[in-house]
A and B are shown apart, each in its own frame.
Chain A
Amino acid sequence: AQSVTQLDSQVPVFEEAPVELRCNYSSSVSVYLFWYVQYPNQGLQLLLKYLSGSTLVKGINGFEAEFNKSQTSFHLRKPSVHISDTAEYFCAVNLGYSSASKIIFGSGTRLSIRP
Chain B
Amino acid sequence: DAGVIQSPRHEVTEMGQEVTLRCKPISGHNSLFWYRQTMMRGLELLIYFNNNVPIDDSGMPEDRFSAKMPNASFSTLKIQPSEPRDSAVYFCATQIVGQNTEAFFGQGTRLTVV
Cβ-defined contact, B107 with A103, below 8 A: no
Chain A residues in 8 Å Cβ range of B55: 100, 102
> Which of A19-27, A44-52, A65-73, A75-83 contacts the other chain?
A44-52
In Å, the complex CA distance between A34 and B104 comes to 12
CB distance from B14 to the nearest CB of A (A): 24
Specify which of B4, B42, B45, B108 is in contact with A103 (CB 8 Å cutoff).
Answer: B45
Residues in B whose Cβ lies below 8 Å from that of A43 = 4, 91, 105-108
**Known interface pairs A43-B107, A105-B43. Does A32 touch B48 (Cβ–Cβ under 8 Å)?**
no
Interface of B is mostly: strand
Count of A-B contacts judged by CB separation below 8 Å = 60
Tell me whether B95 and A101 are in contact (CB under 8 A): yes
Nearest B residue to A90 via CB reads B43
Known contacts A32-B100, A43-B107, A103 near B91 by CB under 8 Å = no
User: Which A residue sits closest to B55, measured CB to CB?
Assistant: A100
- Mark A residues whose CB is within 8 Å of B: 32, 34, 36, 42-46, 49, 51, 90, 94, 96, 98-108
By Cβ-Cβ distance, the 6 closest A-B pairs, closest first, are A43-B105, A107-B42, A105-B43, A44-B105, A32-B100, A46-B102
The 26 sampled A-B contact pairs (Cβ below 8 Å) are A32-B100, A34-B102, A42-B107, A42-B108, A43-B4, A43-B106, A43-B107, A43-B108, A44-B43, A44-B91, A44-B93, A46-B104, A49-B101, A94-B103, A98-B97, A99-B98, A100-B50, A100-B97, A101-B95, A103-B95, A103-B103, A105-B42, A105-B43, A106-B42, A107-B42, A107-B43
Known: A32-B100, A104-B45, A108-B43. 14 other contacts (CB 8 A): A44-B93, A44-B105, A46-B104, A49-B102, A99-B50, A99-B98, A100-B50, A101-B98, A101-B100, A102-B48, A103-B103, A105-B42, A107-B42, A107-B43
